[in-house]
Amino acid sequence: MMLLHAAVLLPLLFTIFVPLLYKAFPKLHTGWAVLAVPVVLFVFFVMQIPGQMNGGSAQSAAIPWIPALDISFALVLDGLSLLFALLITGIGALVVLYSISYLSRDKEAIHRFYVYLLLFMGAMLGVVLSDNLIVLYGFWELTSLSSFLLIAFWYKRDRSRYGALKSMLITVAGGFAMLGGFVLLYVMGGTFSIRELVAGLDGFSGDALFVPAMLLVLLGAFTKSAQFPFHIWLPDAMEAPTPVSAYLHSATMVKAGLYLVARMSPVFAGEAVWFWLVSGVGLATLLWGSYCAVRQTDLKAVLAYSTISQLGLIMSLLGIGSAAAHQGMAEDAVAAYAGAIAAALFHLFNHATFKGTLFMVVGIVDHETGTRDLRRLGGLMALMPVTFALALVASFSMAGIPPFNGFLSKEMFFTGALKAAELSLFGVPGWSALFPIIAWAASVFTFIYCMIVVFKTFAGRFKAEALDHKPHEAPLLMLVPPAVLASLVIVVGLFPGLVAGSLIEPALAAVLPAQADAYHVKITMWHGWTTELFMTIGVVAVGIALFLTLRYWQGIYALLPGRLTFNRVYDGLLRVLDRGSLFLTGRYMTGSLRHYLIYIFAFMIGLLGWMMLRLDVLGGGSPVYAELSFYEVVLVAVIVLAALAVPLAASRLTAILLTGAVGYIVSLLFVVLRAPDLALTQLIVETVSVTLFLLCFYHLPKLRKEMAPLPFKLGNALISVGVGLVVTTIALVVSGARKFDSISDFFIAQSYELAGGRNMVNVILVDFRGFDTLLEIMVLGIASLGIYALIKLRLADGEGGERLENK
Amino acid sequence: MKTNDVILQSAAKLVVFVILTFSAYLFLSGHHEPGGGFIGGLMSAAALVLLALAYDLDTIRSVLPVNYRIVTATGLLLAILTGAGSFLFDRPFLSHAFDYFTLPLLGKTELATAVLFDLGVYLAVVGVTMTIILSIGEDR
């Protein structure tokens, strides 16, 4: 079915037309054209619902991409993917509609905005529909990238760039970890396809790499879904335009991590580590996020922490539900834990609806009053009645108050937490008793901040003096998208069966393929006087009491999180990395050539010396040495004396002449060792180089001319002695370890036969190995041109450059 | 204040030809005796340097109006073309050939393509050496 591919690629392809449309129709708000994309996709995915209901089979399509690496552009549409795809396209359509009135065409670069947004939409669809892990990872990083671009949409603000960088660093770090986990899965399972991995699970679930792979994949999911302690990027990402916050940071991107956890559940859920990590981190995020949300004064910050906390809730439910995958549990227990997964999926849907509404409402308030600061807002109820009604519905749903959909999923959450308390599967049963307690405490905080969002903004005294202009109700167009979402909140709350059978159950079947038959999703508003209901009543009672006394106990926030925030850890870590690397680089990159030479030589001594000791080469071999002649002894003695005198010479002139002496004696050595060509060449080249040295010496600057001998440095002496020792040892060892004959016999025998020359050296140079000579004379040519250019081309003083131009 | 180098200049006039002859000998005998393009080239350059010492650079340039960078380029080109010439006979790069010919004046003589290659080396070395020395000498 190539339609799936078209669905994923449509938003990506449409990005090409956005700038064209923007230029071609100067009157039209580009958002209207863009709106068609998510609407078409939404209709397409709605039409897929009947096929997925009642145990319908997943649809799949694959296009080979890199077959040699087992990477194919494979897409699968099952219940879970469909649920996410509907959220992405549905809320995407509403967000595009909302942004038409939120972002003005005249003031904002909306063509860029829609390009990024469509890029994100396509990437997100790719994430939820991909079956191939590598393709999933590619889309995953594309969401990080487009989210980075969207957060920094107002790139002239410092805070936007800071937030964008932070989210980029954290999510990409997690993405890399996830890629590592995927590679490990491939190493174990031999395939990148998720479905094939699930099918072949028995073959590798006991592998030593299994748990590391799981931890790495979880790291990716936790960073993306803003789980504790990686949640810190989400509040800073609120610098993005509000439609972006509503879309990415409440409804879609932050749920990519949840999607990954749900998608990989069939692979990993059997492990106890998975259960404890997912549910534990989820609960920690839930509690910390809801606790922190209460103390925020910025509306969007409240919503950011509330998103973190709700994501933690869903994550913990996914963790609790993973218990259903364990072997040897009673039928009803499996059904109960599967209920936790159903609760997670249901709350995921609900959260997307009410959080999207709330973000849009906050955007309206911001748009109409010019501030999001809770201390300046108040009493907007009479001025903005529709907005108030929408905020009320969404907040009460988030707080878990009937008759809204949040109530239902919160009840199911309590059921799951209570069920988890009974769990004695993995030992330490005492710990699992914490589940309902944390869940309840977090719900109280959730209730408090929900009330803050509604009543601090809309109730109380109207502070006209704090606002720049008199606020009024938002335009109709801006109210439509949150109204649609809020009506979903109510409709789903009253008739949960609408989504339970059509969306949640197929998704549940995808998360728990083996246990799907054991559980059928039944969500009812009234389910008797159960423990969960009493817990909810308690949440409301305690929540109201605490909300009314907020100002008396708010002081604990100054004490408890006070300095203990993870932002400080992040900032400190960046600073330490920054300064640490600067310090380290400053220590060894001194800019002094002397130091670099010391590193190079010390490394050479260390490596070669260590290898010689390791390979134990010193003892082996019995070199055969030739007889030393009298001339050789004398010449070598003179060379040694001359060379030793060079560093001790007081004047540079002496050093130059001594170097020349060494060179001439070397040419004499060539004579003694019967190399006439070398001797001739050495003689002339030495003459030339000594002349050039003298030239340099003559032109030394008169200022601070030092005539003293080199100062003695012990380190340098040690290094030079070390290099000499190592090289000498290697030379001795190598000459004693000749493994095969030299090829010189061939040259001796054939130089006249094949090349017609009796001077073997010359024959080798121009005939046997002529290619080397060719390149060597090229080296000479380049050197001469280099010298010519260095001398003639003096752009700095102007004169030389001019002279060259005049020629 | 210019000194009168008449002895040096007169000697140079003679010695330069001796050196040039010797360098030609070194070059031509390179295939069988010690020598070859490299040393021959250095020797020829030495002769020119002697001229430059005895006279001055302007004299050298008026007597031998040669651009030594072109000499270098010619030498490199000759070496490469000699190597590439073996392609004409469907042989690998730089395959040399030699044979014996009976020439009118010299009698039986060996002619080898390697000498052409060596000539390239010779020219390149002369050009390089003279370029370096003349550009340093002209500085200031």
The CATH number of the domain where A600 resides is what?
1.20.120
CB-based contact A122:A145 (threshold 8 Å): no
CB within 8 Å of A798: residues ≥ 6 apart: none
CA A476 to chain centre: 40
Name the residue facing B34 among A677, A688, A767 (closest C-beta): A677
Per-residue model confidence (pLDDT) at position A525: 56
d(CA A247, CA A282): 22
Both structure tokens of A122: 């396509």
Segment (H or E) for A807: none
Tell me the C-alpha to C-alpha distance, in Å, between residue A727 and each of A218, A618, A621, A738.
53, 13, 17, 17
CB-based contact A766:B36 (threshold 8 Å): yes
Per-residue model confidence (pLDDT) at position A779: 94
Residues A333 and A389 in one domain: yes
Per-residue model confidence (pLDDT) at position A459: 81
Per-residue model confidence (pLDDT) at position A138: 92
Tell me the C-alpha to C-alpha distance, in Å, between residue B28 and each of A417, A509, B21, B73, B115.
100, 92, 10, 21, 8
Handedness of CA A544, A545, A548, A551 (dihedral sign): negative
Q: Residue A800: is its pLDDT beyond 50?
A: no
CB contacts, 8 Å: A771 with chain B: 83, 93-94
The number of C-beta contacts closer than 8 angstroms across A and B is 127
Out of A391-400, A417-426, B10-19, pick the least confident. Answer: A417-426
Q: Residue A554: is its pLDDT beyond 80?
A: no
Phi, psi of A284 (to 5 degrees): -60, -45
CB contacts, 8 Å: B138 with chain A: 791
Handedness of CA A476, A477, A478, A480 (dihedral sign): positive
**pLDDT tens sequence across B101-121:** 777 777 777 777 888 888 999
Nearest Cα to Cα of residue A87 among A259, A237, A220: A259
- Give counts: helices (H), strands (E), chain A: 37, 2
Both structure tokens of A683: 């003689």
Both structure tokens of A767: 């005939």
Per-residue model confidence (pLDDT) at position A564: 63
d(CA A572, CA A567): 8
d(CA B109, CA B124): 26
Higher pLDDT, residue A316 or A499? A316
Name the residue facing B83 among A774, A783, A792 (closest C-beta): A774
d(CA A93, CA A617): 74
Nearest Cα to Cα of residue B116 among B92, B86, B140: B86
Domain boundary (A690, A708, A740) is at A740
Taking each helix axis from N to C end, the angle separating B37-54 and A676-698, rounded to the nearest 10 degrees, works out to 40
CB-based contact A467:A370 (threshold 8 Å): yes
How many Å is the Cα radius of gyration of chain A? 38
Q: Under an 8 A CB cutoff, do B73 and A781 touch?
A: yes
CB contacts, 8 Å: B46 with chain A: 684
Question: What average pLDDT score do residues A95-110 get?
Answer: 84
**pLDDT tens sequence across A480-521:** 888 888 898 888 888 887 788 788 888 888 888 776 666 666
Q: Residue A420: is its pLDDT beyond 80?
A: no
In chain B, where the domains are located: 6-137
Domain boundary (A265, A288, A319) is at A265
Handedness of CA A769, A770, A775, A780 (dihedral sign): positive
pLDDT band at A581, cuts 50/70/90?
very high
The CB density around residue A417, as the number of other CB atoms within 10 Å, is: 29
Out of A194-198, A675-679, A696-700, A798-802, pick the least confident. Answer: A798-802
Out of A417-431, A715-729, A779-793, B66-80, pick the least confident. Answer: A417-431
Tell me the C-alpha to C-alpha distance, in Å, between residue A111 and each of A23, A116, A143, A153.
9, 9, 18, 11
Q: Under an 8 A CB cutoff, do B135 and A677 touch?
A: no
Residues A115 and A199 in one domain: yes
Residues A521 and A630 in one domain: no
Residues A220 and A329 in one domain: no
Residues A718 and A639 in one domain: yes
Q: Residue A704: is its pLDDT beyond 70?
A: no
CB within 8 Å of A35: residues ≥ 6 apart: A93, A96, A97, A100
Tell me if A560 is assigned to some domain.
no
Phi, psi of A700 (to 5 degrees): -60, 140
Handedness of CA A673, A678, A679, A683 (dihedral sign): negative
Which of B29, B31, B42 would best serve as a mutation to test chain A binding (most A beta carbons within 10 A)? B31
Tell me the C-alpha to C-alpha distance, in Å, between residue A683 and each of A371, A484, A671, B21.
87, 95, 11, 19
d(CA A219, CA A317): 18
Alpha-carbon gap: B109 to the closest alpha carbon of chain A (Å): 12
- Residue A257: exposed, middle, or buried by beta-carbon count in 10 A (0-12, 13-18, 19+)? buried
Residues A396 and A309 in one domain: yes
**pLDDT tens sequence across A601-626:** 999 999 998 888 888 776 655 667 77
CB-based contact A229:A566 (threshold 8 Å): yes
d(CA B27, CA B39): 7
Number of structural domains, chain A? Answer: 4
Tell me if A580 is assigned to some domain.
no
H-helix segments, A48-157? 49-52, 79-102, 110-129, 133-151
Per-residue model confidence (pLDDT) at position A806: 46
Q: Under an 8 A CB cutoff, do B32 and A759 touch?
A: yes
Closest residue, chain B, to A800 (C-alpha): B139
Segment (H or E) for A64: strand A59-66
Proportion of chain A in helix, strand, coil states, percent, rounded to 5 = 75, 0, 25
Tell me if A585 is assigned to some domain.
no
CB-based contact A45:A86 (threshold 8 Å): yes
Closest residue, chain B, to A676 (C-alpha): B34
Which residues of B sit within 8 Å Cβ distance of A? Answer: 26, 30-39, 42-43, 46, 69, 72-73, 75-76, 79-80, 83, 93-94, 96, 98, 110, 112, 114, 117-118, 120-121, 124-125, 127-129, 131-132, 135-136, 138-139
Tell me if A581 is assigned to some domain.
no
Task: Please report, as a single letter, which amino acid is at residue A689.
Answer: S
**pLDDT tens sequence across A327-375:** 666 666 777 777 888 888 888 888 998 998 999 988 888 888 888 888 8
A250: Cα within 13 Å, side-chain hemisphere: 32
Range of the domain at A423: 269-555
CB within 8 Å of A1: residues ≥ 6 apart: A59, A60, A61
**Longest pairwise C-alpha distance within chain A:** 115
Residues A716 and A785 in one domain: no
Name the residue facing A778 among B76, B96, B136 (closest C-beta): B76
Question: What average pLDDT score do residues A376-381 get?
Answer: 79
pLDDT mean across residues, chain B: 85
Q: Under an 8 A CB cutoff, do B36 and A765 touch?
A: yes
Q: What angle do CA A410, A442, A538 make, to 5 degrees?
A: 65
CA A344 to chain centre: 26
Task: List residues bridging with A63 in a β-sheet.
Answer: A73
Q: Tell me the whole-structure pTM to 2 decimals.
A: 0.80
Higher pLDDT, residue A424 or A5? A5
Question: What average pLDDT score do residues A253-259 get?
Answer: 90
Residues A392 and A494 in one domain: yes
CB within 8 Å of A120: residues ≥ 6 apart: A142, A143, A146, A147, A150, A247, A248, A252, A253
**pLDDT tens sequence across A454-491:** 888 888 777 777 677 776 777 888 888 888 888 988 88
Proportion of chain B in helix, strand, coil states, percent, rounded to 5 = 70, 10, 20
Question: What average pLDDT score do residues B35-41 get?
Answer: 89
Name the residue facing A766 among B26, B33, B114 (closest C-beta): B114
Phi, psi of A132 (to 5 degrees): -85, 130
Residues A542 and A641 in one domain: no
Both structure tokens of A640: 């040694």
Residues A4 and A126 in one domain: yes
Per-residue model confidence (pLDDT) at position A805: 47
Q: What percent of chain A has pLDDT over 90?
A: 20
Residues A731 and A783 in one domain: no
Q: Would you give the DSSP letter of residue B110?
A: E
CB within 8 Å of A511: residues ≥ 6 apart: A80, A262, A263, A265, A266, A318, A321, A341, A345
Question: What average pLDDT score do residues A415-435 get?
Answer: 70
Question: What average pLDDT score do residues A384-396 get?
Answer: 87
Both structure tokens of A707: 């005539």
Nearest Cα to Cα of residue A319 among A252, A378, A272: A272
Tell me if A602 is assigned to some domain.
yes
Tell me if A474 is assigned to some domain.
yes
Closest residue, chain B, to A769 (C-alpha): B94
Concatenated DSSP letters for A535-555? HHHHHHHHHHHHHHTHHHHTT
Residue listed under structure tokens 């933690």: A312
Can you list the pairs that A54-57 forms with residues at least 24 positions away whose Cβ atoms lie under 8 Å? A55/A509, A55/A516, A56/A506
Domain boundary (A682, A709, A740) is at A740
Residue listed under structure tokens 């834990």: A337
Q: Would you give the DSSP letter of residue B95?
A: -
For chain B, give the number of residues.
140
Q: Is cis: bond before A711, omega within 30 of 0?
A: no
Whether A673 and chain B come into contact, CB under 8 Å, resolves to no
d(CA A667, CA A684): 10
Higher pLDDT, residue B2 or A210? A210
Alpha-carbon gap: B12 to the closest alpha carbon of chain A (Å): 19
Q: Residue A807: is its pLDDT beyond 60?
A: no
Q: Residue A528: is its pLDDT beyond 70?
A: no
ipTM above 0.85, yes or no: yes
Residues A259 and A273 in one domain: no
d(CA A359, CA A377): 16
d(CA B40, CA A115): 71
Per-residue model confidence (pLDDT) at position A562: 58
Higher pLDDT, residue A470 or A286? A286
pLDDT mean across residues, chain A: 84
Per-residue model confidence (pLDDT) at position A146: 92
Q: Is A686 helix (H, G, I), strand (E, B) or coil?
A: helix
Whether A788 and chain B come into contact, CB under 8 Å, resolves to yes
Nearest Cα to Cα of residue A82 among A108, A113, A59: A59
